[in-house]
Amino acid sequence: MSLEAYLERVAAFTDDEFGRRMRTQFQDHRGWAELSMLKSPCREEIEQLRRAVAIMTPREKAAADVLSDEQVRRIADDARVDPALFAIFINGYALECRARRGDAESG
């Protein structure tokens, strides 16, 4: 799965009413629910992720599942997006890639 395809899959439930209700169940003391962002992002989060993916080089996109923390931080800084949000997205993508590789190896 390409990084762009993963982004669109995450974006499919942007501002979903049920997702918003579920996110409130996982809020911390600050009212944040970052980890649930991968299942039901708000519009602002998706806009930030799209900006970050848009500035990535083809090489970075091809190796997105193995980017270092420093590379993820630099991309987030260059795109002027929340580095934690982008790191969660990249880590989610890496987990998806590993799961798909595991399925391919077992099948």
Domain boundaries, the chain: 3-106
Taking only the tens place, the pLDDT of each residue in 23-59 is: 666 666 565 556 667 778 889 999 999 999 999 999 9
Tokens of 87: 């790191």
Contact indicator for 3, 93 with CB cutoff of 8 Å: yes
- pLDDT of 37: 73
Taking only the tens place, the pLDDT of each residue in 2-21 is: 999 999 999 998 887 776 67
- Determine the Cα–Cα distance for residues 106 and 104; give it in Å rounded to an integer: 6
**Percent of the chain with pLDDT strictly greater than 70:** 79
| pTM of the predicted model as reported, rounded to 2 decimal places | 0.83
Q: Where are the beta strands (DSSP E) in the chain?
A: none
Mean pLDDT over each residue of the chain, to the nearest integer: 87
- Determine the Cα–Cα distance for residues 93 and 17; give it in Å rounded to an integer: 24
User: DSSP secondary-structure letter at 106?
Assistant: H
